[in-house]
């Protein structure tokens, strides 16, 4: 069961502290999560439309640089389009075992906000069609609902066509 919480009542994640510091408005939604399955499962559990529920994926390029992609939970990242956006010859998904080491987050709790470093970030262009979108709040069981333009500012992201 999901519940909307005030920012004060919710567990403060690093992502929320960063949004607060930048004076970006957001809402927090918490839910029970024993183990992470995937973003579609979470959206279904919460009754959230897929087109406003976004997942965060991390890739590594041939150069060894990391890139972050934020896209609707029911879509697949097109690695060729993503590589072109990143200026890389090719990209591959970051291995699950490396997510925490690279981002500071765990699988299912990865958000583009407040990673260990500010990696080049790309948000699927469909996000601009919505006043607010959901992204992970930085830990399992926590979502942040915020304006995608504000999200792009705080993570220095570009909007791009990155899906099939």
Is 74's pLDDT higher than 90? yes
pLDDT bracket for residue 37 (50, 70, 90): confident
Q: What is the spatial distance between Cα 115 and Cα 1, in angstroms, rounded to a whole number? A: 28
Is 160's pLDDT higher than 70? yes
Q: Structure pTM?
A: 0.92
Domain boundaries, the chain: 3-160
Q: What is the spatial distance between Cα 116 and Cα 111, in angstroms, rounded to a whole number? A: 11
- Sign of the C-alpha dihedral, residues 97, 78, 48, 7? positive
How buried is residue 63: exposed, middle or buried, by Cβ count under 10 Å (0-12/13-18/19+)? exposed
pLDDT, residue 4, reads 54
pLDDT bracket for residue 2 (50, 70, 90): low
Looking at 3.30.9.10, 3.40.30.10, 3.90.960.10, 1.20.120.160, the CATH number of the domain 3-160 comes to: 3.90.960.10
Interval 136-152 mean pLDDT = 95
């Amino acid at each position: 069961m999901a519940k909307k919480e005030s920012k004060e009542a919710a567990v403060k994640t690093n992502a929320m502290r960063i949004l607060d510091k930048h004076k970006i408005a957001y809402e927090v939604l918490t839910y029970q999560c024993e183990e992470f399955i995937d973003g579609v499962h979470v959206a279904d559990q919460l009754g959230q439309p897929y087109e406003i529920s976004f997942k965060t994926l991390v890739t590594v390029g041939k150069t060894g640089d990391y890139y972050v992609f934020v896209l609707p939970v029911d879509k697949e990242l097109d690695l060729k389009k993503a590589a072109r956006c990143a200026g890389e010859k090719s990209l591959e998904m970051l291995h699950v075992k490396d997510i925490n080491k690279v981002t500071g987050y765990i699988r299912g709790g990865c958000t583009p906000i407040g990673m260990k470093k500010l990696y080049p970030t790309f948000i699927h262009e469909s996000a601009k069609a919505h006043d607010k979108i959901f992204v992970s709040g930085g830990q399992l069981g926590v979502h942040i609902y915020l304006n995608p333009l504000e999200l792009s500012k705080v993570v220095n992201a570009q909007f791009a066509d990155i899906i099939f």
